[in-house]
Amino acid sequence: VKTVLLDVDGVLADFVAGYLQLVCDVTGLRFQHENVTEFRIGRALGLTADDDRAVANGITQGWCAGLDPIPGAVDGYKKLSAIADVYIVTSPWNKCPTWTYEREQWLAKHFGIPHARVLHGSAKHLVRGDVLVDDKTETCVKWRDEHPDKTVVLWESPWNVRDAWGGVLTNDWDRLVRLVEVLP
């Protein structure tokens, strides 16, 4: 059985939807996912440094727990976990003191994922697995450099499609499941 390392924000959790709501609360501007054309959301939207800071400060207790799952993720995860050993590898928003606790509650509530399957940290390249799935190009590149014989899937999103990336790019759960099934 293959080990799949799965990111949360941008793969399972709709972080950007929650963030765009904060942007709207602070600035009154209503943006869509498509407007987020690079990983740094504030920069992609052309926010001032002050607005960007005010938005980020809106990530407080309860925010992480209130995120919506990305459409299709619950079913997709179910299919993937039926054929692979899935571990969550998620980088916490370190300025929010309740983030990691809320994340685990959220993963248990929406996906039935237990504590023992969750790793919190930003040094994802130190984690071993057969496949990494992540929406941050920088993380994918770093992990690939560390595990050149393994498989990396950049989870296709408006904020990464313009990045230089020669590897697998998809956000199709069936394609991911197939890819894992046929791994030697």
Nearer to Mg ion, 124 or 147 (CB): 124
**Rounded Cα distance, 131 and 46, in Å:** 34
Per CB under 5 A, the segment of 8-16, 106-114, 116-124, 163-171 that binds Mg ion is 8-16
Size of residue set near Mg ion by CB under 5 A = 4
**Rounded Cα distance, 1 and 24, in Å:** 44
Q: Spell 8-19 as b/e; 16+ CB within 10 A means b.
A: bbbbbbbbbebb
Nearer to Mg ion, 7 or 104 (CB): 7
- Judging by beta carbons within 10 Å of its beta carbon (0-12, 13-18, 19+), is residue 76 exposed, middle or buried? buried
Nearer to Mg ion, 130 or 135 (CB): 135
Q: Tokens 């956000």 — which residue? A: 171
Nearer to Mg ion, 10 or 42 (CB): 10
Residue 7 engages Mg ion in binding (rule: CB under 5 A): yes
**Contacting Mg ion (CB under 5 A), which of 9, 14, 102, 104?**
9
Residue 14 engages Mg ion in binding (rule: CB under 5 A): no
Q: Residue 92 CB, nearest distance to Mg ion (Å)?
A: 12
Per CB under 5 A, the segment of 5-13, 60-68, 122-130, 141-149 that binds Mg ion is 5-13
- Judging by beta carbons within 10 Å of its beta carbon (0-12, 13-18, 19+), is residue 169 exposed, middle or buried? middle
Nearer to Mg ion, 7 or 52 (CB): 7
| Nearest-CB residue for Mg ion | 10
Helices (H) and strands (E) counted in the chain, each on its own, are: 7, 6
**Footprint of Mg ion on 128-147 (CB under 5 A):** 135
Nearer to Mg ion, 9 or 130 (CB): 9
Q: Residue 135 CB, nearest distance to Mg ion (Å)?
A: 4
Cβ partners under 8 Å of residue 46, min gap 6: none
Rg for the chain, CA atoms, rounded: 16
Binding site for Mg ion (CB under 5 A): 7, 9-10, 135
